[in-house]
Amino acid sequence: MRLFAATLATETNTFSPLPTSLESYKQSVFLRPGEHPAETPLMCTAPLWVARRRATKEGFTLIEGSCFAASPAGTTNRADYEAMRDEILEQMKAALPLDGVLLGLHGAMVAYGYDDVEGDILERARAIVGPKCVIGVELDPHCHLTLKRVDLADIIILYKEFPHTDVVDRAEEVLDLVLATLRGKAKPVMSVYDCRQISSYPTTLPLMRAFVDKLKGLEGKDGILSISVAHCFPYADVAELSGRVLVIADGDKAKADAMATAIGEEFVSMRGKTMPDYFTPPSGVKLAIEANATPVVLAEPSDNAGGGAPSDNTTILRELLAQKAENAALGPIWDPIAVRLCFDAGLGAEFPLRFGGKIGPRSGQPIDATVKVIGLKRDAWQSFGPTRVPLGDCAAVEIGGVQVVLIANRTQALGLELFTNLGIDPTQKKVLVVKSTNHFMAAFGPIAKRVIYIESDAPLSRDYRKIPYTKINRPIWPLDAETKPGLIY
């Protein structure tokens, strides 16, 4: 049995002022065959990593393709996308004959000229491997689950958890199902229910937690092989953006239809009940300063690099300074030039630094202040579940009662190392501000005595009605009050 695995992934915010190029992939994941590290999977590479570990025991030959992944940002450069795609397709062609293909994709990647990148990759892959080859795909729930992909792949499984702590578990399931299909032990058939809705669904909140636990309980029995829920990725102007439910049943399409409909209707009934409350910067900061708890974690989803935001908005920092916050820390602010200036100044130096507020109109104004350099670290990283995320060179500066972490490699707040790398102990901070939507909860949830979510003026608004879509299929909630959810595949 011969299986091929590869990754090409990013999450594209088509409204972001930061284009994505080959350089962005080189900064995150850019690995040729055989170069993938043994210890942990990287962004979207779990299918290859899992297959490598199981190949000998399961009796198949794994042919490794390239793995390319970039931090979420704007649309990917067309020539760069085509070069990475064609490299993987050439490797696939050279690996023929193939019984199976495992693709670690994201599901919300857009390149100039390609609104459905994953559909394009699958179309070309299918043309190479033929109709009998079993194609299994792992996607992020913040994806656009287009019908083209469902048509072209045999098995699609999405992570269930948000924060995405289950990327390895779901990749194991993709491989399980691909192998079961090849061994004649399963006949996957897929159904999709379109919920016609845009929202956010952290699984750390009670309603979504219960929903995901229920889905897990329904899998593996009564002919249901897998249930996935596409949350959707709201910050992209593509036609098929929507919350969707995907069910894989064993040979019984009617059963998949019925389950997708039942779960889809339940997901529709959860509209408006899955997001936390959001505070304004002044009220959220005031609440945190006055709270009788340490640390209070303030989350800023609107400037989440993980959703394609620049992560250099300064509004909450200004508010902390205006309200004279003491023993506070904030991170990360992406500003490679400020990081370099801090390294030039040296540890312990006090000097005038301008930082943040640069990349777009919703970055706010830069901060101009005399800062003290309190921490420097070259080539730092932070952990996220079982994976390591590079931060590049990092610097920490102190202004008044606030310590600010500046990073060179744009990414969101995920692991405590973001602060500890620079000698800041996050457990001892009264107020801890993290730029992240909900992934921070994996590491910061356990140390937080209280979590407060702030909607700032940074680009990722939680009010989806404010996003200037032009291509999205309508009607869709909450842009339209009346919608027509239903089975579409």
Report, in Å, the least distance between residue 141 CB and Zn ion: 6
Considering beta carbons, is residue 100 or 385 the nearer one to Zn ion? 385
Report, in Å, the least distance between residue 267 CB and Zn ion: 17
Considering beta carbons, is residue 143 or 150 the nearer one to Zn ion? 143
- Buried b or exposed e, range 223-240, using 16+ CB within 10 angstroms: ebbbbbbbbbbbbbbbeb
Report, in Å, the least distance between residue 164 CB and Zn ion: 6
Q: Which stretch binds Zn ion (CB under 5 A): 56-64, 141-149, 181-189, 272-280?
A: 141-149
With the C-alpha atoms ordered 385, 410, 314, 397, is the resulting torsion angle positive or negative? positive
Q: Which pair of tokens denotes residue 164?
A: 């995405």
Report, in Å, the least distance between residue 25 CB and Zn ion: 18
Choosing from 142, 144, 149, 160, the residue that interacts with Zn ion (CB under 5 A) is 142
Considering beta carbons, is residue 323 or 412 the nearer one to Zn ion? 412
Report, in Å, the least distance between residue 46 CB and Zn ion: 13
Considering beta carbons, is residue 76 or 323 the nearer one to Zn ion? 76
Report, in Å, the least distance between residue 88 CB and Zn ion: 22
- Give phi and psi for 449, each to the nearest 5: -85, -25
Q: Which stretch binds Zn ion (CB under 5 A): 14-22, 140-148, 281-289, 354-362?
A: 140-148
Report, in Å, the least distance between residue 306 CB and Zn ion: 7
Choosing from 140, 161, 166, 173, the residue that interacts with Zn ion (CB under 5 A) is 140
Report, in Å, the least distance between residue 471 CB and Zn ion: 21
Report, in Å, the least distance between residue 159 CB and Zn ion: 7
Single-letter code of the amino acid located at 419: F
Indicate whether 194 belongs to the interface with Zn ion (CB under 5 A): no
Q: Which stretch binds Zn ion (CB under 5 A): 20-28, 139-147, 319-327, 413-421?
A: 139-147
Considering beta carbons, is residue 358 or 388 the nearer one to Zn ion? 388
Indicate whether 170 belongs to the interface with Zn ion (CB under 5 A): no
Residue 290, CA distances (Å) to 258, 283, 293, 323, 430 in order: 51, 11, 9, 11, 10
Report, in Å, the least distance between residue 140 CB and Zn ion: 4
Q: Which stretch binds Zn ion (CB under 5 A): 67-75, 119-127, 132-140, 310-318?
A: 132-140
Total residues at interface with Zn ion (CB under 5 A): 2
What gap in Å lies between CA 394 and CA 355, rounded to an integer? Answer: 13
Residue nearest to Zn ion (CB): 142
Considering beta carbons, is residue 235 or 469 the nearer one to Zn ion? 235
With the C-alpha atoms ordered 438, 441, 444, 450, is the resulting torsion angle positive or negative? positive
Considering beta carbons, is residue 406 or 413 the nearer one to Zn ion? 413
Considering beta carbons, is residue 304 or 456 the nearer one to Zn ion? 304
Q: Which stretch binds Zn ion (CB under 5 A): 138-146, 192-200, 333-341, 379-387?
A: 138-146
| Alpha carbons within 13 A on the beta-carbon side of 457 | 15
Considering beta carbons, is residue 76 or 412 the nearer one to Zn ion? 412
Considering beta carbons, is residue 142 or 362 the nearer one to Zn ion? 142
- State the distance between the two ends of the chain, measured CA to CA, in whole angstroms: 30
Report, in Å, the least distance between residue 398 CB and Zn ion: 33
Considering beta carbons, is residue 429 or 439 the nearer one to Zn ion? 439
Instruction: Say how many C-beta atoms besides its own lie within 10 A of residue 88's C-beta.
Output: 22
Q: Which stretch binds Zn ion (CB under 5 A): 16-24, 134-142, 195-203, 425-433?
A: 134-142
Cis peptide before 332 (omega within 30 of 0): yes
Indicate whether 303 belongs to the interface with Zn ion (CB under 5 A): no
Binding site for Zn ion (CB under 5 A): 140, 142
